[in-house]
């Protein structure tokens, strides 16, 4: 479409608007400021008084812009805010269909691309007077948003463009346009100031770049932040190998990038900055020197390069504040190893420390890893440390959130807390955020599997049932039941002896047996670490301490198999609801019989419908069973999390605001979310307010390490056997 034709179309609409309101302000197109944009032609308009006479007090603000799209010539009104989406313009006095745009796209700040058909969920009919008629129709070409389908959430404009390209919302041409206006991060060698050869091949040429410093290779700590237009101007322009969050990898040729940059010149200021990640930057080194001076160390501790490397290997990045606290914590640990050590600081967190727990149960401050890396750096053979600790902390958060409304009806919840139900920690015992009996019990069940003798001597796996039973007895001891053998560090923590008033029926209830699935899965963390019958045997032996119902035992087995996938050390795991359906697939030969038919039916009824094309349908947890039997608890958990894996706060609220076992469904949902997102991906305020968060993380860490290929049993056997004495 030529410029003149676009202006004529806009003028036709303006004329119709003037005719519909003859007494209104005279307006016309601003011909001098017409420009081409990715969506089409942008035709501004304003008052005649401003355009012809310069009457500033008569000017429209913000200046409106009609977009005439290419190639179809549709008229749309541009959004007044940068990045917003345009809306269709109807001629005054005519019926029209108003677009219903997926909010995932509408709120993403990528309005420069217009509104692709794939992001329009449907249309609502509007009459000639501008009133909605209530009539709607779906768009068969609508494609469900990639974030709702479980793709990682983007953290900047470039990642959003790449995600929408991978998710088939943007065409390759649109992705090129977006990348042409973006900036990237390029690895640098700190000595030479050049791009290391491993990331730049001049003979091809091909350049490996990253969407942010978070996704730099773990051993890279210096960078060049540069706009893509500058790279495209190189001779010859290199192909860009673009890396960011998992699933967003994209390769763009230098030729097509140069063409895109020529067609859509960068409007923002050029970017050309070289720098270092916080762990290698001067402020953190200065913080280490300052800490050494205050604590009397002869030399400052080393910068936290290793810590940052380990974090980035697991998909996380240490912030500058975390790096400062790391060197401060390391300084305290170094000073405490010297003669005449000072007392530990009163505020451990501010000094880069967290409560650790010795073999006698006493607090031994340890370096804070912020939930981002395992201090010893083990990658995990089968399971990832960040997923295991995320699952345990998420479990505790979910129970703490649901404890105040456990077993209340939805009506009772909304009557007491308002139409949205509980939106944060409420007081269930004496203070908000306290550990509940489910988490207490999970900790002792986990301690039990660590103490099983089969990890060291496989011939003793026959004792596993006794081990599981003793785990339940040790938890009951904290609730006042006498126990002859009282040993191990966990029983020595007085906070775990606080009664949280579990219901007597919970001790033998089917739904509570689902707790066994998580520790049962961990028993198969490394080669030869599990039982001969695999995690199914472990799950049934553990759950069998509180239930004999075969449906319950198979449900625990099913959830154990879900955990085996969700806790994977791989960079990518499926969304929880997708994994739930995969695990229940009838194609598996080890799943047969009426119990599995009921499990599959329950999962199918709970899992969201998220088609590639068409409207998604999230299940309402309140509609899944009665919320009290094992399968409906499992179903409500899946329903709460499904389609909301990237929105943990909302998912957890869905998991507890319903009639039924709110604490248990909240705990299971929190564990699924934590396994996928890690502790840093859970709501930070809830993590910070959780009672004994670091004790929970400590137990999870020990279980991960114990069953990994590089087990703690082989690392320091005498220490470990004293920490977890065998039964």
Whether 686 and 397 have beta carbons less than 8 Å apart is answered as yes
Q: Is residue 11 part of a domain?
A: yes
Determine the Cα angle at 379 with ends 275 and 153, to 5°. Answer: 60
Asked whether the predicted pLDDT for residue 501 surpasses 90, the reply is: no
Could you tell me if 568 and 599 lie in one domain? yes
Domain extent, residue 312, equals: 282-354
Q: Is residue 377 part of a domain?
A: no
Whole-angstrom Cα distance, residue 97 to residue 78?
18
Q: Is residue 197 part of a domain?
A: yes
Could you tell me if 342 and 252 lie in one domain? no
Q: Hey, CA dihedral for 188, 192, 196, 202, is it positive or negative? A: positive
Could you tell me if 596 and 468 lie in one domain? yes
Could you tell me if 130 and 206 lie in one domain? no
CA trace torsion 677, 570, 573, 377 (10° rounding): -20
Structure tokens at 599: 């499990």
What's the pTM value of the predicted model, to 2 decimals? Answer: 0.94
pLDDT for res 611 = 80
Q: Torsions phi, psi of 367, nearest 5?
A: -70, 135
The stretch 640-654 carries a mean pLDDT of 96
255-267 tens-digit pLDDT: 999 999 999 999 8
Lowest mean pLDDT among 176-180, 307-311, 489-493, 611-615: 611-615
334-352 tens-digit pLDDT: 999 999 999 999 999 999 9
Whole-angstrom Cα distance, residue 383 to residue 474?
27
pLDDT for res 699 = 98
Q: Hey, CA dihedral for 155, 158, 159, 163, is it positive or negative? A: positive
360-377 tens-digit pLDDT: 999 999 999 999 999 999
Determine the Cα angle at 403 with ends 397 and 405, to 5°. Answer: 130
Q: Is residue 604 part of a domain?
A: yes
pLDDT for res 587 = 79
Name the pLDDT band for 504 (thresholds 50, 70, 90).
Answer: very low
Whole-angstrom Cα distance, residue 247 to residue 110?
20
pLDDT for res 546 = 87
Check residues 507 and 407 and name the one with the higher pLDDT.
Answer: 407
DSSP-derived 3-state class of residue 36 = strand
The stretch 403-431 carries a mean pLDDT of 96
- Structural domain ending residue among the three candidates 215, 244, 276: 276
- Structural domain ending residue among the three candidates 247, 276, 305: 276
Could you tell me if 393 and 508 lie in one domain? yes
- Structural domain ending residue among the three candidates 69, 104, 138: 138
Could you tell me if 259 and 342 lie in one domain? no
Could you tell me if 399 and 329 lie in one domain? no
Could you tell me if 164 and 313 lie in one domain? no
* Mean pLDDT (the chain, rounded): 95
Number of folded domains that form the chain: 4
Whole-angstrom Cα distance, residue 97 to residue 102?
16
pLDDT for res 506 = 57
Q: Is residue 152 part of a domain?
A: no
What is the length of the chain? Answer: 727
With left for phi above 0 and alpha for psi between -120 and 50, is residue 404 left, alpha or beta?
alpha
CATH number of the domain bearing residue 412: 1.10.4080.10
Structure tokens at 281: 């930057």
Asked whether the predicted pLDDT for residue 65 surpasses 80, the reply is: yes
DSSP-derived 3-state class of residue 579 = helix
The stretch 257-280 carries a mean pLDDT of 96
Whole-angstrom Cα distance, residue 534 to residue 527?
11
Whether 36 and 5 have beta carbons less than 8 Å apart is answered as no
518-537 tens-digit pLDDT: 999 999 999 999 999 999 99
Q: Torsions phi, psi of 561, nearest 5?
A: -70, -35
Whether 385 and 314 have beta carbons less than 8 Å apart is answered as yes
312-333 tens-digit pLDDT: 999 999 999 999 999 999 999 9
Q: Is residue 148 part of a domain?
A: no
- Between strands 206-210 and 239-243, the pairing is parallel
Q: Torsions phi, psi of 3, nearest 5?
A: -60, -45
Lowest mean pLDDT among 13-17, 31-35, 384-388, 502-506: 502-506
Could you tell me if 205 and 304 lie in one domain? no
DSSP-derived 3-state class of residue 192 = coil
Neighbours of 63 (CB within 10 A): 14
Asked whether the predicted pLDDT for residue 508 surpasses 80, the reply is: no
97-110 tens-digit pLDDT: 999 999 999 999 99
Structure tokens at 545: 């301490």
Q: Is residue 662 part of a domain?
A: yes
Name the pLDDT band for 503 (thresholds 50, 70, 90).
Answer: low
Could you tell me if 483 and 588 lie in one domain? yes
The stretch 544-556 carries a mean pLDDT of 93
Q: Is residue 379 part of a domain?
A: no
Asked whether the predicted pLDDT for residue 619 surpasses 50, the reply is: yes
Closest CA to 218 of 184, 172, 187, 255: 187
Could you tell me if 336 and 406 lie in one domain? no
Name the pLDDT band for 502 (thresholds 50, 70, 90).
Answer: low
Could you tell me if 468 and 544 lie in one domain? yes
């Amino acid at each position: 479409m030529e410029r003149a034709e676009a202006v004529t179309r806009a003028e036709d609409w303006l004329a119709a608007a003037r005719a519909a309101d003859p007494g209104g302000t005279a307006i016309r197109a601003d011909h001098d400021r017409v420009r081409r944009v990715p969506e089409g032609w942008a035709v501004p308009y304003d008052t005649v008084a401003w355009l012809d006479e310069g009457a500033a007090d008569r000017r429209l603000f913000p200046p409106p812009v009609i977009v005439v799209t290419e190639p179809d010539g549709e008229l749309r009104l541009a959004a007044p805010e940068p990045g917003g989406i345009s809306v269709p313009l109807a001629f005054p006095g005519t019926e029209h269909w108003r677009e219903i745009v997926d909010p995932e796209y509408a709120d993403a700040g990528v309005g420069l691309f217009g509104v692709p058909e794939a992001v329009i969920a449907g249309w609502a009919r509007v009459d000639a007077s501008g009133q909605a008629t209530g009539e709607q129709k779906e768009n068969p070409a609508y494609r469900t948003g990639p974030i709702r389908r479980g793709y990682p959430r983007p953290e900047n404009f470039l990642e959003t463009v790449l995600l929408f390209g991978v998710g088939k919302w943007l065409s390759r041409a649109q992705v090129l346009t977006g990348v042409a206006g973006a900036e990237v991060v390029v690895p640098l060698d700190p000595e030479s100031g050049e791009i290391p050869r491993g990331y730049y091949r001049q003979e091809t040429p091909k350049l490996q770049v990253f969407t942010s410093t978070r996704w730099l290779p773990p051993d890279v700590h210096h960078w060049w932040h540069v706009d893509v237009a500058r790279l495209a101007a190189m001779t010859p322009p290199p192909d860009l190998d673009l890396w960011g969050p998992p699933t967003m990898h994209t390769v763009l040729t230098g030729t097509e990038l140069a063409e895109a940059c020529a067609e859509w010149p960068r409007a923002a200021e050029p970017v050309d900055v070289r720098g270092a990640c916080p762990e290698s930057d001067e402020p953190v080194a200065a913080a280490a020197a300052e800490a050494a001076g205050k604590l009397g160390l002869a030399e400052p501790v080393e910068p936290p390069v290793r810590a940052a490397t380990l974090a980035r290997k697991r998909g996380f990045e240490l912030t500058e504040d975390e790096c400062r606290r790391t060197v401060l914590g390391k300084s305290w640990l170094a000073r405490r190893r010297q003669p005449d050590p000072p007392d530990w600081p009163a505020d451990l967190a501010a000094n880069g420390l967290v409560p650790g727990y010795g073999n006698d149960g006493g607090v031994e401050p340890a370096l804070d890893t912020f939930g981002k890396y395992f201090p010893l750096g083990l990658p995990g053979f089968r399971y990832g440390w960040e997923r295991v600790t995320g699952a345990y902390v998420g479990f505790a958060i979910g129970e703490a959130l649901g404890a105040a409304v456990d077993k209340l009806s939805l009506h009772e919840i909304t009557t007491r807390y308002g139409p949205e139900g509980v939106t944060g920690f409420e007081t269930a015992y004496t203070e908000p955020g306290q550990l509940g009996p489910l988490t207490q019990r999970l900790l002792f069940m986990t301690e039990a599997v660590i103490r099983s003798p089969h990890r060291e001597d496989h011939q003793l796996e026959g004792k596993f049932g006794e081990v599981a039973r003793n785990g339940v007895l040790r938890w009951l001891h904290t609730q006042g039941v006498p126990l002859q053998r009282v040993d191990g560090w966990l029983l020595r923590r007085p906070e775990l002896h606080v009664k949280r008033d579990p219901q007597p029926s919970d001790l033998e209830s089917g739904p509570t047996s689902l707790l066994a699935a998580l520790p049962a899965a961990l028993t198969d963390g490394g080669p030869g670490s599990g039982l001969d019958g695999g995690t199914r045997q472990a799950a049934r032996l553990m759950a069998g301490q509180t239930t004999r119902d075969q449906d319950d035992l198979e449900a625990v087995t099913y959830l154990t198999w879900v955990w085996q996938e969700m806790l994977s050390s791989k960079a990518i795991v499926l969304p929880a609801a997708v994994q739930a359906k995969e695990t229940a697939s009838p194609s598996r030969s080890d799943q047969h019989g009426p119990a599995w038919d009921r499990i599959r039916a329950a999962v199918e009824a709970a899992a969201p419908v998220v088609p590639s094309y068409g409207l998604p349908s999230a299940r309402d947890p309140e509609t899944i069973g009665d919320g009290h039997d094992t399968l409906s608890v499992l179903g409500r958990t899946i329903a709460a999390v499904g389609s909301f894996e990237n929105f943990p706060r909302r998912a957890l609220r869905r998991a507890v605001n319903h009639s039924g076992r709110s604490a248990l469904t909240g705990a299971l949902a929190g564990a699924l979310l934590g396994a996928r997102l890690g502790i840093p991906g859970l709501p930070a305020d809830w993590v910070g307010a959780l009672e004994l968060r670091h004790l929970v993380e400590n137990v999870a860490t020990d279980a991960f390490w114990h069953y990994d290929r590089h087990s703690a049993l082989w690392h320091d056997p005498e220490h470990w056997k004293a920490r977890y004495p065998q039964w």
